[in-house]
Structure 1
């Protein structure tokens, strides 16, 4: 029987025999055991060119096709200087081009579809991210900022912008110091997470509409009036 559920797993890590590579293998196998078809894009292994010089190309079209077919996008990477490796940023730059990731126009209204709407509306997006920091540093009041704030450009500015439903990141801390038992624990946490990935509550960001935002695309004063951080944009 052919599964109707499909995922795209994008990995951006330079070493195949790494914690990230191991977790990718475990995660893909877990999805497959639950009946998912899983496409993979291992950016370092395939030598993905991150430089956007001209739009399009067969390699870009292939990635777009995999993404359009997917119900779930999993993006996995180590956190480097509070962001993803350059090769992954280049994947987004090239794949999410005009007419696909942005400048997607609704033919009925003539409005550009974004922030809760778009060509990728309804798909779910999960980040699996490893960090060398201690857990507290990427949590509430942590010196590095909460992981959902650190990854705001991807969660809100890429996933939500294109219509996808962002899920809270799967964060692995102390990634360089994990012993065998701790790695096994992280594997089980990921497997458990993936088993309910279709039903868990996404991060609820506000849609871009006249009710919530004015014509300057500023949040109207009646919504979270005392909140000055990016948390104001959550519903």
Structure 2
């Protein structure tokens, strides 16, 4: 790597129940290609780890009085500050601290991430580590790190267009890319998406790999999605987009929260 912003350490959060799947093949190809580029790679295979997806009072055994009301944010912060989070969570947090780039790899199920991956975020992105008010949306504690999605989708690409039956893919991924990654301060790289994942014949896997390799080759030069930052574009009192931004834009919905300049 030749630049100060080069990605050297990559953490892949892999969320598919079968390593023999298309996702499994893409994971293997990704790891090999990244390592061939001289990058270090760690993989958290959530199903292989039997990851506990639900957050409960058992996540705070030393700081929460069992049977009392569970206030997740404050309990999470308290346990993090006193180094009392459970060992499985701590191990994943150490990987996060280590990584320059975090890749979420998953099949798009019911319009979002698999439950096990959502549970990983809920447990590992604890208060005090992944976020601390008011530092959010581009200015969080993971500022300087990069995030990226690798997604397989069952529908055809046209189904995820503006007029497609499933709706625009950018809108579907918005809560994940902005609400999970950008929220913590990560710069979010453009996703790598494979459509029609259930119907890909063997002869089409080669072109998918070529497109994947091109994406990985460009990691250091890919421009992040220009989400608007809380500290720059939102009124600090109302947490609404600044009036002048809204008045000058013709955008609606999620796209209003992405810079166009």
* 2:208 counterpart of 1:179: no
* 2:231 counterpart of 1:213: no
**How many residue pairs end up in the alignment?**
225
SS for the counterpart of 1:161 is helix
Aligned to 1:146: 168
Kept in 1, the 8 Å contact 2:7–2:100? The answer is no
Residue correspondence of structure 1 range 187-226 to structure 2 within 5 A: 187-209=209-231, 211-214=232-235, 215-225=237-247, 226=250
In 1: Cα distance, 2:150 partner to 2:49 partner: 20
Kept in 1, the 8 Å contact 2:189–2:224? The answer is yes
Unaligned runs of 5+ in 1: 106-111
Aligned to 1:40: 43
Q: 2:115 aligns with which of 74, 86, 101?
A: 86
Deviates most, 89-98 or 187-196: 187-196
Aligned to 1:124: 146
* 2:97 counterpart of 1:75: no
Aligned to 2:70: none
In 1: Cα distance, 2:242 partner to 2:141 partner: 26
Offset at residue 153 of structure 1 (A)? 1.3
Residue correspondence of structure 1 range 48-59 to structure 2 within 5 A: 48-53=51-56, 54-55=59-60, 56-59=85-88
Deviates most, 220-229 or 82-91: 220-229
TM-score by length of 1: 0.91
Q: Which runs of 4+ in 1 moved over 4 A?
A: none
In 2: Cα distance, 1:150 partner to 1:23 partner: 22
Offset at residue 180 of structure 1 (A)? 1.2
Q: 1:23 aligns with which of 26, 39, 59?
A: 26
In 1: Cα distance, 2:163 partner to 2:189 partner: 21
Aligned to 1:231: 255
Larger relative helix fraction: 2
In 2: Cα distance, 1:64 partner to 1:76 partner: 18
